[in-house]
Amino acid sequence: MHIHPRSVAHKVFDIWRSSGRFTKNPDIVALPTGRYILIYSDVDAHWSMKDQILTLLASDDRGATWYKYREIDRADLDAGDERLVTPRLSLLNDGRLVIIVDHDDDGHFHEDQLPGNWLYWSDDLGDTWSPAQTENGIGGFEPDRVLDLPDGTLGVTSHLMRGASQEFAQVLWTSEDGGATWTERGTIAHNGYHRFCEGAIVALGGRRLACVMRENHSGGIPSFVAFSDDCGHSWTEPKMLPFALHRPYAKRLADGRVLATGRHVNGGLGTYVWVGDLEEAAGQYAVGGPRRKYDATLIKDALVIFNQPEHECRYSLLPPESPFSDVDFEAELRVEASAGDHNVAFMSISRLGQLLRIAPNHISITRGRHEVRHCADMTRYQRVALRHRRGWLQVKLDGETVLQACVFREETPANDFHGGDPLRRTQFGQWGASGRSYWRRVLYRLGNPNLDDFKWEWSAESSAYPDQYQRERMIQIHANHPAQKPWPDHGYSSWIQREDGSIYLVDYTNAGDVADTAHLVAVELEPTDIA
């Protein structure tokens, strides 16, 4: 069994539990006094249906122990209050602390709806707080932390739906009067297709900014980044990043690199760290690796996947833009199983709703309620390909069309955060709990009607796994099993860098907890962990 090659899970420790409650979305700052404080939302469930308490914790021993410090606000849904969602905490250059929190998304998602982000201010390092500043002009949902921009203004980013496209846009809001009033400065990312959201602004020096964003279709679509050279008035076209993080939390380290954390949704489940140069990473793409336990190894001329119960060795690729995309998906492989008709491997294409299963004595697709097979000796290496043009899907075996189907324009959903449904992912790898497959080569090409075309190619001769980038560059902070009830939940993290270069990171997780409860965890990363 393989575990993530770069994991620091052994360093994670619990820091806070609220009995019978779901503790979520912690955000931490270090005060000039040496005290750490963090804000989190104390709720009855992940999607709270009863009440929420914005709670401030404090630590006077560098995060070793924590105590309840203040309650900032409460909301009672039965009393008619709006739901409090995700708080963020900032220490500004002028010494003030500010908390921003959004409200019920259904009431504030759309650009035509009233703003629902509230601000709370402290002039004495958290001892006392102002009443909620409810009318400020900050629209949208899931705001990032408030920060000082290089031009002397305050800035915060959030996402909202644009009416013309009925799709998300990531927007930057700024204040020139210390946070009293806010206006929209610029649209960071919006193209009417990608679901840009939960952006994190990173100051790169001078007037240059970056915004690292979640893409909420998921299903193999990674995070994106956009850049600005004029403090956010204008932005470059967003580019893919070689990781897929939900609620990315990103800042520069003292050495100039950027460290981003968040919920990993294109590989092993849990909270992960990426560290590097955003400029160099922009435009790179990396294949997603297995989400569960897996048993796979590289031999001289093949990647060998050993199927076992509760194992799931699957690799995720970028999905087609739509059913109008041209697709060429080809693999050279062979399979083994104790019975010839046991499916061992598969290839799937999301948005086309196509799944090809591979057994020792046949390959098959599903047409309506029926499985359609083509007899073939798949115990020897053969080239299997899925080719799609203008609604015509062909399954080819060593260049000959052996199965066919029509693909209708109704899009098959691609949203799949955790990679569990192959029809919602473009994937290849393990199918079933027995047998083994030998993969020599995989080629994947997209011709999209609007988005950029895409090509990815891999061969075992490279001596690299398909997900080699993630194996080398992504650090697993803590895992969460796919069977966690009601679902694995974690990843709205934040962190501070100490003077000695170490990182203190906080997060929430429901790993090992009963349904609708969660707790807060922390991890201390040494500089060697992120070298």
Rounded alpha-carbon distances, angstroms, from residue 407 to 351, 397, 415: 10, 20, 19
Please tell me the predicted confidence (pLDDT) of residue 1: 36
**Residue tagged 């899925």 (tokens):** 386
> Do 132 and 73 form a contact (C-beta atoms < 8 A)?
yes
Q: Is 206 left (phi over 0), alpha (psi -120 to 50) or beta?
A: left
Please tell me the predicted confidence (pLDDT) of residue 415: 79
Determine the Cα–Cα distance for residues 320 and 146; give it in Å rounded to an integer: 36
First-last CA distance in the chain: 26
**Residue tagged 């899009």 (tokens):** 411
The DSSP-derived string for 86-119 is: EEEEEE-TTS-EEEEEEE-HHHHSBTTSPP--EE
Please tell me the predicted confidence (pLDDT) of residue 106: 86
HEC states along 191-226?
CCCCCEEEEEEEEEECCEEEEEEEECCECCCCCEEE
> Do 168 and 216 form a contact (C-beta atoms < 8 A)?
yes
> Do 171 and 140 form a contact (C-beta atoms < 8 A)?
yes
In the chain (531 residues long), the average pLDDT of successive 10-residue segments reads: 72 97 98 98 96 98 98 97 96 98 90 96 98 96 97 98 97 98 98 97 97 95 98 98 98 97 95 97 97 95 97 96 97 95 96 95 90 96 98 97 92 74 91 97 97 97 97 95 93 97 98 97 96 88
Cα dihedral sign for 67, 72, 75, 76?
positive
Determine the Cα–Cα distance for residues 514 and 488; give it in Å rounded to an integer: 12
Model pTM?
0.96
**Residue tagged 């473009």 (tokens):** 426
Rounded alpha-carbon distances, angstroms, from residue 47 to 39, 115, 248, 275, 516: 18, 20, 20, 31, 9
Closest by Cα among 227, 225, 266, 229 to 245: 266
The alpha-carbon radius of gyration of the chain (Å, integer) is 24
Helix (H) or strand (E) holding 359: strand 354-359
- Which pair of structure tokens corresponds to residue 524? 């201390």
Please tell me the predicted confidence (pLDDT) of residue 105: 73
Domains and CATH numbers, the chain: 9-289+472-530 (2.120.10.10), 296-466 (2.60.120.560)
Closest by Cα among 452, 449, 445, 407 to 426: 445
Largest Cα–Cα separation, the chain? 75
Residue 169 CB partners (closer than 8 Å, separation 6+): 111, 159, 160, 161, 162, 187, 188, 189, 190, 196
Please tell me the predicted confidence (pLDDT) of residue 344: 98
HEC states along 386-425?
EEEECCEEEEEECCEEEEEEECCCCCCCCCECCCCCHHHC
Q: Is 300 left (phi over 0), alpha (psi -120 to 50) or beta?
A: alpha
The DSSP-derived string for 285-312 is: ---B--SSBB-EEE-SS-EEEE--TTB-
Determine the Cα–Cα distance for residues 168 and 318; give it in Å rounded to an integer: 20
Determine the Cα–Cα distance for residues 530 and 521; give it in Å rounded to an integer: 19
Residue 265 CB partners (closer than 8 Å, separation 6+): 218, 244, 245, 246, 417, 418, 419
DSSP state of 490: B
Please tell me the predicted confidence (pLDDT) of residue 4: 65
